[in-house]
Chains A and B, each alone.
Chain A
Amino acid sequence: MPAALHPTTRDSLFASTRWTVVREAADSQTSSKHALSALSDLCQIYWRPVYLFLRRQGIAQHDAEDLTQGFFADLIENRAYARADPMKGRFRSFLLGTLKHFLAHTRDRDCAQKRGGVLVRLDEAGISKAETYSARCQNQSPDGVFEREWAGSVARQALDRLAQEYELAGKGTLFEALKLHLTAGATAAVPYEEMAKRLGRLAATLRVDVARLRARYRAILREEVSGTVLDPRDVDEELRYLREAMAT
């Protein structure tokens, strides 16, 4: 079963080329369906930084929601990504730059808000959490908020994918029990022995399970980050940048 030993998943292939695909499409006259799909996926993952940046700019909640939609619509319809600086090579920096440009040059915000329809799904729970945070971050810079939210979005996407994989494998319950260990490492709040009793598994097996969980999460996280940079060698640098952003 060689494929199981060296899993090359469709997700990994796709994620590693998302931003590359979009950038390549920018060089041609028309955008391919694939490129638009990759861009839509990226927008769906990273709407929170955009939304909270707008909120931090003092834009009211409902207007920020509409403007977030309008911004992504403009991005796709006007092929704004064709103007991205290839030297910078980060989707994160491109999106922030384009967002600032959009705000500065969109005089008629009403019109911008209504254009394009719904391209990105802003879920209610997400808006609610973003609003709670928005109230807390009034003393932080909009750029800082954007970057920390970006880091949070990368982690969220990786965890969502991991959860889906476990669910598919019939290990949803196990995932729910073990995901705590991702952030807590060896200092888990719930001892393995106790968890073993609760889950009916051997403690030794649970240690293996946690090791596996961390390994898989690591791989997915790096795939996701690699989807936002042009050169895969930049993944470590981008992760470090985000870690620093969290510390500031």
Chain B
Amino acid sequence: MATPVENACICKTCGASTEATSSGDLGCITCLLEIGLGPEAEERDGAFAAVPNQLGAYTIARHIDGSAWELGHGAMGVTYRAIDKALDRPVALKIINIDLGSRSAEARERFLREARAAAALRHPNVATAYQFGVREETGQFFYAMELVEGETLEECIRRLGPLDVLTTIDIALQVTAALEAAEKRGLVHRDLKPGNLMFVSSDDNGASTVKVIDFGIAKAVVEKTDAMALPPGGFVGTPAFASPEQFTSAPVDVRSDIYSLGATLWFLLTGHILFSGRTVQEMGDARRSKPLPVDQLKAAHVPRRFISLLISMLAIEPAARPAGPHSLGAKLQAIRTSITSRRKIAARFAVGAAFVALTTIVAVRVFHATPPKKTTPSVPEKSIAVLPFENLSHDPDNAYFAEGIKDEILTKLATVRDLKVISRTSTAGYQSKPDNLKSVAHELGVSTVLEGAVQNAGDKVRVNVQLIEARTDRQLWAKSYDRDLKDVLVVESEVSQEIVNALQANLSPSESHALASAGTRDAEAYDLFLRGEYELHQAVSALDVDAYDRGEAFYRQALTRDPNFAEGAAALVRTRLWRHWFISPLTSAELGEVKSIIDRALALAPNSPEAHCALGLLFYYGHRQYENALAEFNRTLELQPNNALARQYCAYVYRRRGEWERSLADLQRAQGLNPRHAVIAAEIGQTYGALRLWKNAERAQLRALAIDPHNTRAAFYLLNARLNATGDVDSAMRAVDGFPEVIKISLYGSGADTGGDVAGIISVRLYLGVIARHFTDVFQALEKEVVNDESGHLRQLAGRAILRVLAGQTEAAKLSGEEARPLLEARFRERPDDTFARTELSWVYLALGRNADALRLSRQAADLIPIEKDALTGPSFQVGLAQIEARAGAPEEAIKRLRRLLSIPAGEVASIARLKIDPVWDPIRNRSDFQQLLSGPEQIGPNK
């Protein structure tokens, strides 16, 4: 700093030497000390008193001593508390320090237009601007805005210090919501910073609100004749939080605000300004030349995912930042969910564990509409969760290898009856080495945890493992293995054996043999198998067709390397059958090939649990032979008592047999082994839905969605349960609005063959539209549906015909029917056993007026899957037949059928609430016997 002196060494004000210290660069130290001794009230004299009393309709509020009631001041101006005399309400009045009077009329107009555009923004997280004006005597611009009673986040941080991660994310989400609203209006804030975020204290529910102030004002102030030019005096905005492009003449968009939000969040988390400098130029340069001081975030214990997001928000190039507020919000929400779900698991587990306890007493307790009492779970001493192994290899693509080794150890341990072993799905979401080991173990209901790390390079592999007693955090056993890759299978056996020893678990001879055995001795085959396993896990999780295909290819290559690799064969069968059921059906010939693969695997390894489980899946999915399937799943459990998948499928078989209590008991046992698997919770919910225990059904689906917010199956079941329970279609539609985008896309995509009735053929969106009788919307939505495969296309053709029939458009229905008929008949000829093809064709015949053919095919479909053989899916074909009967001249049969359905557990497809609103029943709605149904009883719980 230059000294205010004529003589270089003597202060003009006090005459002291400025060279009396090494701090001569500061100026006169004596004068600087003198200020500290000067009068406190000096700020109130002179210029301070110049604050006007009145600006337009606003009167500046004053303190008792006459000083203006200032709320804050920043680079652009000062904000006062004021009263709007016209409306008698308090406002915040900001006076901007620019001389608008010196500008041309055109510039003034442009300025006000800009400011008014910003003021049009209305959002709960934006302080609303009320009015703009110019103080003629000084040319000062002012505006009134909503008075937000709170403090700025800058003040908050200075008072309290840095914020915790969750609070920061909540703030970020609110600001992001404001930015999203602004983006829709084409507005950019340009001066987003802690000082422009008002933090309003918690409401009664403990929620705090953040409001963004001064939206668009920076731009209005900057904008002059030349939009690119900075105003005199330099930078308007706040260099400490400005984006790199704000330091140049480059155009700015919402991504500039995203950068500023990143710098703001940094400040909230650390209390530090990201880049400082003595001049605007220095600060601008720092952004481009200095690395982000990420250690500050690490020291503040900011999770890695959040650090990554902040780094991306603070990318120099706008293109490298999150594309917009919407995408940013989704990322923030995902991080928030991952943090909170970890904290909430303990609470959830208490409920989950209570479910486990319900086995023999299930019939007594399960069918109460009240939730099971929360009990403290007793954790078996001999229980273990194998956490994901850390991949220490340089190549991240080797993650499959670490995961595969962990899975193999887990699989071996699962064969030990004396142990409780948590399934992979439930441990997959945890870190390799969690800080909160005790709570992780508590959440999973185990007393010990195995942590591990794998490093492989070339043909060498190092595996480090440690077994920890969760209660005491004591290491029970640890070992490091350095082996050739080809010997890694032996390591898995050794680790498993050591764990069994450490936990003093009893081993039968067959279990000992299972621990010691290896599926293949061929290292390359094993490597390919692990790659396949990795892909299959991805495929199941995301219903990813490509991942299914990649997995299948790896398994096939593994079998080419080692044709005697039974576990590889079982895995290939598993992937083929899941793809068959969830993606697109296999032909008879393809199912034949699957059968031959599994036969060969069992011939090679008659006691392979994986092979028996795969054979069970073939019976279950390939042929609907549930008794045979059950035998194989039970055999699997004999060989591998901790196999949660086999337990799950036993439950599915019991359900199809109508043994509801037994099914629920087994589902809950499966949940004990796999407590974090959303699908099990969803299936429990579906079972309750069939039993018309709506509250239990909804609770289970919400639990599934809490575990996995993107679980489409749970979302679908939840909608169905709500619709069947209340018939409230608006509530169901609102529920859809609350789902994540990925679920909406899935629910709104083309339909799937989920049942034999109309709702099982068309998509959820179309069905909700039908129920709401919005046929115009339904037809538009149908035309927009995108289908990617042949069965989807055929389903769409059938759906069009069905919708024309339901809308009463007879001629249009015929045209649609004619279009669909040849293709559907061709598929029917190709797949005579496909009940869904039969059902769809029956509706096409109905559209064509061929009622007899429609009835014939629909009856055949219902006969193929009778309730006696399949209590879960059978009712949907009965409903489908009743729907055809109602429209094909057999109303008495339809009503008789419906009466029966209401007297059995068929709540998924038949409920009185839904009969009342579904237009499909319109042809028989006015019949007295139908009306009697609506006022009669419906079975709740299992039949006695």
A residues lining the B interface (CB < 8 Å): 1-5, 7-11, 48, 52, 126, 129-130, 132-134, 136, 148-149, 151-156, 158-159, 163-164, 167-174, 176, 179-180, 182-185, 187-189, 197-202, 204-205, 207-208, 211-212, 214-215, 217-218, 221-222, 225, 235-236, 239-240, 242-243, 246-247
Contact = CB atoms under 8 A, between A and B. Distances in A.
A218 B35 contact: yes
Contacts of B279: 172-173, 176
Contact of A4 (B46, B72, B233): B72
Given A5-B71, A149-B21, A170-B237, A246 B16 contact: yes
A156 B42 contact: no
Contact of A211 (B47, B191, B238, B267): B47
A163 B193 CA distance: 17
B74 A170 contact: yes
Contact of B158 (A10, A198, A243): A10
A112 B70 CA distance: 54
Contact of A169 (B21, B154, B161): B154
Nearest to A212: B43
Interface stretch (B23-31, B479-487, B873-881): B23-31
A218 B35 CA distance: 6
Interface in B12-71: 12-13, 16, 19-38, 40, 42-43, 45-48, 50, 69-71
B23 A129 contact: yes
A1 B72 contact: yes
B278 A130 contact: no
Given A218-B40, A236-B37, A204 B50 contact: yes
B741 interface: no
Contacts of A198: 232-233
Nearest to A127: B22
Given A10-B159, A169-B238, A133 B280 contact: no
B823 interface: no
Contacts of B159: 3, 7-10
A164 B278 CA distance: 9
Contacts of A225: 36
Interface string B123-155: 000000000000000101000000011111011
A163 B1 CA distance: 13
B158 A212 contact: no
B316 interface: no
Given A151-B29, A180-B2, A180-B27, 10 more contacts: A7-B158, A8-B159, A9-B159, A169-B195, A169-B238, A183-B3, A204-B50, A208-B50, A217-B35, A246-B16
Given A184-B13, A247-B16, A129 B35 contact: no
A197 B238 CA distance: 21
Contacts of A242: 33
Contacts of A235: 36
B152 to A, nearest CB: 7
Contact of B280 (A158, A172, A208): A172
A84 B81 CA distance: 49
Given A179-B1, A200-B233, A173 B280 contact: yes
29 contacts: A1-B152, A7-B159, A9-B155, A10-B160, A129-B25, A151-B21, A151-B33, A169-B75, A170-B195, A170-B237, A172-B280, A173-B235, A176-B278, A183-B32, A184-B12, A185-B31, A198-B232, A199-B233, A202-B97, A204-B50, A205-B97, A207-B47, A208-B78, A212-B43, A221-B36, A236-B37, A242-B33, A246-B29, A246-B30
B35 A211 contact: no
Q: Kindly name the residue among A187, A188, A205 whose own CB sees the greatest number of chain B CB atoms within 10 A.
A: A205
Task: From B2, B29, B97, B283, name the one whose CB has the most chain A CB atoms within 10 angstroms.
Answer: B29
Nearest to A199: B233
Contacts of A169: 74-75, 154, 195, 238
Contacts of B38: 214, 218
Interface of B: 1-4, 11-13, 16, 19-38, 40, 42-43, 45-48, 50, 69-75, 78, 81, 97-99, 138, 140, 148-152, 154-161, 191, 193-195, 198, 231-235, 237-241, 267, 273, 276-280, 283
A156 B23 contact: yes
Nearest to B193: A170
B232 A199 contact: yes
A169 to B, nearest CB: 6
B22 A170 contact: no
Contacts of A133: 19, 21-22, 24
A51 to B, nearest CB: 9
B21 A152 contact: yes
B280 A4 contact: no
B29 A155 contact: yes
Contacts of B24: 129, 133
A92 to B, nearest CB: 13
A230 to B, nearest CB: 18
A240 B23 contact: no
A153 B155 CA distance: 26
Contacts of B31: 182-185
B261 to A, nearest CB: 15
B232 A197 contact: yes
A218 B42 CA distance: 11
B232 A243 contact: no
Contacts of B20: 148, 246
Contact of B150 (A1, A152, A188, A239): A1
Contacts of B231: 200
A189 B28 CA distance: 14
List 6 A-B pairs, minimum CB-CB distance, nearest first: A170-B238, A152-B23, A152-B21, A184-B4, A199-B233, A200-B232
A188 B775 CA distance: 79
Nearest to A218: B35
A176 B281 CA distance: 13
Contacts of A163: 278
Contacts of A134: 22
A221 B16 contact: no
A155 B240 contact: no
B21 A182 contact: no
A145 B296 CA distance: 37
Contacts of B74: 169-171
Given A207-B47, A218-B35, A155 B26 contact: yes
Contacts of B43: 211-212, 214-215
Most buried by A among B1, B43, B276: B43
Most buried by A among B35, B38, B97: B35
A214 B47 contact: no
A182 B27 contact: yes
B30 A247 contact: yes
Given A167-B273, A204-B47, A159 B42 contact: no
A114 to B, nearest CB: 26
A126 B78 CA distance: 37
Contacts of A159: 26, 32
Nearest to A174: B75
Nearest to B147: A1
A168 B268 CA distance: 12
B237 A243 contact: no
B32 A173 contact: no
Contacts of A155: 23, 26, 29, 32-33
A198 B34 CA distance: 29
Contact of A170 (B36, B75, B160): B75
A164 to B, nearest CB: 7
Nearest to B11: A183
A212 B73 contact: yes
A236 B35 CA distance: 11
